């Protein structure tokens, strides 16, 4: 097959996929935990919510199902593009703004980039400004501070990025005060606490217990809930050291090398 014919065939296949993509298809695939399918159909979805579902699926695959650094970066860039296309369809869309910022934060971690970390924080803050009552957005800012401190240490994180442990706790507590539904916020809070200090184990245990009892709305929630239960099992045995190691590995990009 010549290069030209191959390109025409690929274009025809992409056009076929786009034509077959129906409203809600990506969202349904994400809800069922079919991340690869959601990523594929979401990229050509006719709605902003479909593009967001596709981006979430792609970023989930990059952050939780990929061990290769180069592949993870490529997938994160695709996810960012998905969220950007959602924002073109619906300028100012708050979930797209937040998810794009979270994905940039993943890439900042992957590339050890202070510039991307600042960009991620600005995006999260923009999402909070659009919806101050969104627990996930507040937790994302708490995670930004906590991840920065846990990775760089208090002094460097504070000096280079303005990240602070106290701010991490404050934003997470604000998120929890809103009584968030689902396992995401308590799981992220618990894993951040474990990353910051072994002495946080009792509070982390309580949060993970809550995460395990919350209703899961989609495949991403079920993934987080499984991670929460695995770490909780180690805390229940009193093995804080092993729980911290597993929580780090089960955090976004924890398996990437």
Q: Which structure tokens are listed for 197? A: 């200090």
Quick one: average pLDDT of 217-228? 97
- Return all residues near 192 (Cβ < 8 A) that are at least 6 apart: 142, 143, 146, 147, 150, 168, 172
Query: Confidence class of residue 241 from pLDDT cuts 50, 70 and 90?
Result: very high
Among residues 220, 224, 215, 227, which one has the least CA distance to residue 38?
A: 220
Q: What are phi and psi of 131, to 5 degrees?
A: -150, 85
Query: Confidence class of residue 19 from pLDDT cuts 50, 70 and 90?
Result: very low
| CA quadruple 188, 193, 198, 203: dihedral sign | negative
- Return all residues near 197 (Cβ < 8 A) that are at least 6 apart: none
Query: Confidence class of residue 20 from pLDDT cuts 50, 70 and 90?
Result: low
pTM score, whole prediction: 0.90
Quick one: average pLDDT of 113-136? 97
Quick one: average pLDDT of 147-166? 95
Q: Which structure tokens are listed for 78? A: 């695709």
Quick one: average pLDDT of 8-19? 40
Contact 244, 198 (CB under 8 A): yes
Topology at the third CATH level for domain 1-132 = 1.25.40
The predicted pLDDT at position 250 comes to 97
Contact 188, 165 (CB under 8 A): no
Q: What ranges do the domains of the chain cover?
A: 1-132, 133-257
Among residues 138, 102, 247, which one has the least CA distance to residue 187?
A: 247
Comparing 5-9, 38-42, 98-102, 183-187, the range with the smallest average pLDDT is 5-9
In angstroms, rounded to a whole number, what is the distance separating the alpha carbons of residues 156 and 159? 5
């Amino acid at each position: 097959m010549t290069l030209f014919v191959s390109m025409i065939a690929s274009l025809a296949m992409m056009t076929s996929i786009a034509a077959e993509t129906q409203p809600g298809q990506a969202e349904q695939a994400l809800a069922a935990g079919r991340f690869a399918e959601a990523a594929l159909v979401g990229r050509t979805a006719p709605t902003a919510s479909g593009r967001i579902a596709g981006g979430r699926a792609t970023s989930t695959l990059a952050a939780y199902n990929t061990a290769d650094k180069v592949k993870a970066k490529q997938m994160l860039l695709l996810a960012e593009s998905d969220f950007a296309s959602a924002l073109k369809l619906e300028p100012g869309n708050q979930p797209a703004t937040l998810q794009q910022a979270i994905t940039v934060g993943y890439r900042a971690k992957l590339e050890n980039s202070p510039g991307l970390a600042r960009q991620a924080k600005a995006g999260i803050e923009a999402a909070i400004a659009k919806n101050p009552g969104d627990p996930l957005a507040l937790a994302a800012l708490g995670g930004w501070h906590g991840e920065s401190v846990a990775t760089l240490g208090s002094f460097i994180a504070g000096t280079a990025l303005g990240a602070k442990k106290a701010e991490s706790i404050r934003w997470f507590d604000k998120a929890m005060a809103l009584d968030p539904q689902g396992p995401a916020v308590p799981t992220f809070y618990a894993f951040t606490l474990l990353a910051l200090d072994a002495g946080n184990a009792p509070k982390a245990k309580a949060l993970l217990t809550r995460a395990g009892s919350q209703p899961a709305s989609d495949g991403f929630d079920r993934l987080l809930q499984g991670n929460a239960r695995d770490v909780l099992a180690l805390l229940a045995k009193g093995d804080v050291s092993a729980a911290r190691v597993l929580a780090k590995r089960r955090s976004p990009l924890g398996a990437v090398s």
